[in-house]
Amino acid sequence: MSRPPNYEFQKWWNKQRENQHELFVDESEKPSCLTVEIRSPTADQAVEKERARSARQISWVCLLRFQKIANSFAYLTNGFVSVLRTANRRIADADLPSRRQQSRLYRVIKAFLIVVVTLLVFELVAYFKGWHFSPPTVGSAAEVVDFVELVYANWLEIRTKYLAPALQCLTNVCVVLFLVQSLDRVVLVLGCFWIEFRRLKPVVAMEYPADSENVNVEDYPMVMVQIPMCNEREACKFSLGNLQFPLYGFEFLLHRLYIPSLVWAQVYQQSIASVCIQDWPRERILVQVLDDSDDLDVQALIKAEVQKWQQRGVRILYRHRLIRTGYKAGNLKSAMGCDYVKDYEFVAIFDADFQPAPDFLKKTIPYFKGHDDLALVQTRWAFVNKDENLLTRLQNINLSFHFEVEQQVNGVFINFFGFNGTAGVWRIKTLEDCGGWLERTTVEDMDIAVRAHLCGWKFIYLNDVKCLCELPESYEAYKKQQYRWHSGPMQLFRLCFMDIIRSKVSSAKKFNLIFLFFLLRKLILPFYSFTLFCVILPLSMFMPEAQLPAWLVCYVPGIMSVLNILPAPRSFPFIVPFLLFENTMSVTKFNAMISGLFKFGSSYEWIVTKKLGRSSEADLVAMMENEAEPLVESTSLQRSSSESGIAKLNKLEMNKKSGKNRRNRLYRKELALACILLSASVRSLLSAQGIHFYFLLFQGVTFLVVGLDLIGEQVS
């Protein structure tokens, strides 16, 4: 049996615990006495001094932060004022074009702007009258006899019954096209990842030794190198069949991808030098400088440069056409008609701002060995000015994806891609087999690539062989380049569609050419990009019955931008500007696509891309210093040639200074679209549509910046 509990002992024990707890509490409530006994006066003074010092430090930190905030605010204010002054000056100095000079697309955009502003006024009136919360009907508005309310009620009925369903149908079509194009982009990226994972590369049958001494010259095939150049200052005609279209060119110098006249001299010298120092037996290479200039001083300078390299023992020829038609295609066609061309097996083509490395031919020619069906070896472009400004950074993102993803995937899996017009080596037999260079479009490089593919030839792309070149640094030059690049494919599609249908290639290749190569990437992409983000999205703010989901406006474009930027990982901070700028460029690409598809006269303009002549001068000088070949002629002859060239260059510079100065421009289509998008953002703000509002706001500001030519090179 258990012992019974002792309740008296428990009561005593609990009473003792309560007394001890009160004792401990009483002692803890008097900490001051204990503290006074252990503190000293010197310790109190040190603590107070540290506290005072800490207070002064905090005040200084606060002052420094306030100063930084004030400086940042002043910097932003000065920048904003500077932008306003620049915009005001450009608006005041802008040349207002006549109505006849206004493009069709600009007239449509201007009418669209008037409609959007009118709708915005109606919506503001409706918002302040409370009609957004209780929309009036036609019957109720007629009873009240308020004209404005009656008009707004009729507008609501018309947009609900007729306009919104049509807009929703167009939206659904663009959504489908957008998803198909996004799927194509994802497939390309996955293909690129597969290539990197499996390390898939074109197989080379042999390699040339790095040492050029004690080699068998017969192992090196005969190679011809062409450098097409031009210097146009006149209104020319570009023939297409039996039609001729006048081309009013701007001042551009020396080559197809071009430069201002103050720096062009060193560019053509470096271009010729980079080709003449190729590590290839000299008796097995011939350089053709194809000069299409009409300026006698320019011709004399190029001739002097060619003679200088002839004196060094280089086999180089100068050619000038008397009948200058067809631009680059006509120039190349004329050069291929020479009798000595039959002695050569391959031809390498470089535009005049391209600088191939000395081992370029040694890295490309071996791929033709053992591949008799190989027509083209295309190399990658590397840009010397990709970090020059925001415009060149955004171009680098776009072109990096084009070369590393599109060209590489198409080259590995289907052995076909569009020839980039330069930095490539062709088999001359291929050019003869597919009809040679044709002057029927402004994209002669894509034209001959398509015809070669239809004849059964294969292409190889080398992503690890790079050729230095330059990106256009001004928006004006970049816009003209993109216009030609997007109008030419539509011209070519009209001309070669039936040839593709009647060709003997497989159905898969026909599908790839028609649907993927032309329709999806050249026609559908600019169509849905402009229609979806510049037309449907603003209209959907004024017609809320037509739904445009947020994932289509924000999330999917963001994912596609991330995929685009993967080949250029250093450009990740520019992902948002890249997305907005690509949507801004959609107006130019859409206009070019429509012009080329429907044969508008502007689609046949050949306006070359102006560039600033940035190049790797130090590399070329170092390579030239390694050349130990003695000159054939005496030093005095070189000195006289050099002095003559300097005199002619000074004369050209004086002519340039006396001419018309360059300046930044205003772009009307971009400014009109900026007003449209900003007006739509105000309407979306009234409806509290967060994602749509921010997208329209930032996109409208981007159009405004581009329209004022505040992106790219700034000319004072």
The full DSSP string for 316-364 is EEEEE-SS--SHHHHHHHHHHTSGGGGG-SEEEE--TT-B--TTHHHHH
Mark out the alpha helices in 615-634 (DSSP H runs). 617-625
**Cα(271)–Cα(353) distance, rounded to whole angstroms?**
6
Residue the block writes with tokens 């329709």? 519
DSSP class of 589: H
H/E element, 466: strand 458-469
Q: Is 279 a catalytic residue?
A: no
CA pseudo-torsion sign 149, 152, 156, 162: positive
* Catalytic, out of 351, 353, 445, 447: 445
* β 424-427/346-349 pair status: antiparallel
H/E element, 85: helix 41-93
Residue the block writes with tokens 């590399």? 619
Give ∠ CA 119-122-128 in degrees, rounded to 5.
140
Q: Is 445 a catalytic residue?
A: yes
**Residue 119 burial by Cβ neighbours in a 10 Å radius (0-12, 13-18, 19+):** buried
* Catalytic, out of 291, 292, 351, 709: 292
**Cα(24)–Cα(16) distance, rounded to whole angstroms?**
13
Residue 467: both structure tokens together: 């050729």
> What strands, in cross-sheet order, belong to the sheet with 374-383?
316-320, 285-291, 223-229, 346-349, 424-427, 374-383, 458-469
Which residues have C-beta within 8 Å of that of residue 492, sequence separation ≥ 6?
441, 443, 446, 447, 450, 518
Side-chain-side CA neighbours of residue 330 (13 Å): 20
Catalytic residues: 292, 445
